[in-house]
Structure formats: C-alpha cells, structure tokens
C-alpha cells in the first residue's frame, strides 16, 4: 500500500496515541495534535520525521493555521480522524456544572467541526479522502451519569451523516465507535472494571487496518471497529 497522510486529533494519550504509533508502524505519515505540549513533543521525538505533532486545542482558532501549514507541507490528508474528546465526571445531568457541559460540547462537537472546516476544502479539491469522526456506543445508546457525553456523540453521529450527504463523489465521512477499550476516559465512567477490556495498543492492531480499508463506499456509515 502507498504511504498515506493521516491526520489524527487527540494524540496525547489513549486511542489517539495508539493509532499514531500504529499508522506510523505501517509506513504512513502521521500528522497529529493534542492539548499536551509535553506529550506531543515526546511523540514527535519517538517517531521522528516525517511525522509531525503539535500542541493544538481543536476548539481554538489555531486549528486553521495548523491545518494550512500541514496542507502546504504534506498536501491534503488521505485519512482525517477526529478523535479528540472529553467525558464528563459521572453524575446526573442536573448536577453537571455548566462550565463542564459547555467545555465538553466545545471540544467534542465544535472542535470536530473546526477540524473538518480546516481540512475538507483541500480534500474536496483533490477529489478523494476519508473522514472518520469518532463516535461511541454512547452515541447510539445511553447510560446513567454520562448525558453530556451521550449528547455530544449523538451529535457526532448526526453531523457525520449530514456531512456524508454534502460530500462529492470520491470522498467519505464515517461515524466510528471504537468499541470498549481500557482508556483513562473509560475509567472515568467505569472505574477499575475497565481493565477487563483491551488496552489501546492492542485495540490499535485491529483498528488501524480497519481504518485503512475505509473508502467511498462507506460514506455515511455508522460503524464499529471490527464489525
């Protein structure tokens, strides 16, 4: 397979970092971002050139400049993965602080929009590419205590399906649930019981080939890794 340009948000830890290592190990160029400057520097040093990792908050206006610089240097992404997300502290909806609810929606939904807005024009101009917006099982079902997170991932599902209707032939937008993976985010909701599920690195061994196989025929899909 030819080397692809893969843009991933949220590469500081968890699934994002695991995907970055997996795609790089498969011979693809990974262009990532996360809020932790320390984590992005460490990943850049670990993987070296031509990979690129920068400290960017996806909900900030810096996204446009970050994307423009990458497009100028590497061209449009072949695969654009909106992975960056927050989860709320588990509590009933009426007890969630307004600031926490607003920030979660800002990152999970508005941040995904900002990334799409920055990269899609170049992908459309080139006439090909796949967008993957990370959803969740909680974007298709509900549980107590995680209403803000559910709201954000239900929004991702709807936004992605509508985006798929907008895209020209040759491109695809997919909402993807990673399945249940033992990450810091899952432990926020499930505690130590998350340990019964695969770690991010093991998950990435299945997820990376799955993502690489996506194409125009998957446009509008609501998919789950491994299914």
3-class SS of residue 217: helix
DSSP 8-state code for residue 145: T
- The band of 216, judged by pLDDT with boundaries at 50, 70 and 90, is very high
Query: Domains (ranges, CATH) in the chain?
Result: 5-180+190-224 (3.40.50.720)
149 is catalytic: yes
Catalytic, out of 74, 110, 113, 149: 149
β-strand partners of 130: 79, 172
- Tell me the whole-structure pTM to 2 decimals: 0.94
For 121-169, write each residue's pLDDT tens digit. 999 999 999 999 999 999 999 999 999 999 999 999 999 999 999 999 9
Torsion angle (degrees, nearest 10) of CA 83, 89, 90, 96: -110
């Amino acid at each position: 397979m030819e080397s692809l340009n893969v843009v991933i948000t949220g590469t500081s830890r968890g699934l994002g970092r695991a995907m970055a290592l997996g795609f790089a190990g498969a011979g693809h160029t990974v262009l990532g971002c996360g809020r932790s400057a320390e984590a992005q520097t460490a990943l850049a040093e670990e993987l070296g050139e031509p990979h690129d990792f920068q400290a960017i908050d996806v909900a900030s206006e810096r996204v446009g400049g970050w994307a423009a610089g990458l497009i100028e240097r590497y061209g449009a992404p072949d695969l654009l993965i909106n992975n960056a997300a927050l989860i709320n502290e588990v509590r009933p909806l009426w007890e969630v602080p307004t600031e926490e609810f607003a920030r979660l929606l800002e990152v999970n939904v508005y941040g995904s929009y900002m990334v799409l807005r920055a990269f899609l024009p170049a992908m459309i101009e080139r006439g090909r590419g796949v967008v993957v917006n990370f959803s969740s099982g909680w974007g298709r079902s509900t549980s107590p205590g995680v209403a803000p997170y559910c709201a954000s991932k239900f929004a991702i599902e709807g936004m992605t399906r509508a985006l798929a209707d907008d895209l020209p032939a040759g491109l695809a937008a997919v909402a993807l649930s990673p399945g249940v993976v033992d990450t810091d985010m899952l432990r926020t909701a499930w505690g130590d019981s998350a340990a019964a599920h695969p770690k991010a690195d093991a998950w990435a061994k299945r997820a990376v080939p799955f993502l690489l196989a996506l194409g125009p025929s998957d446009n509008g899909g609501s998919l789950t890794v491994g299914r």
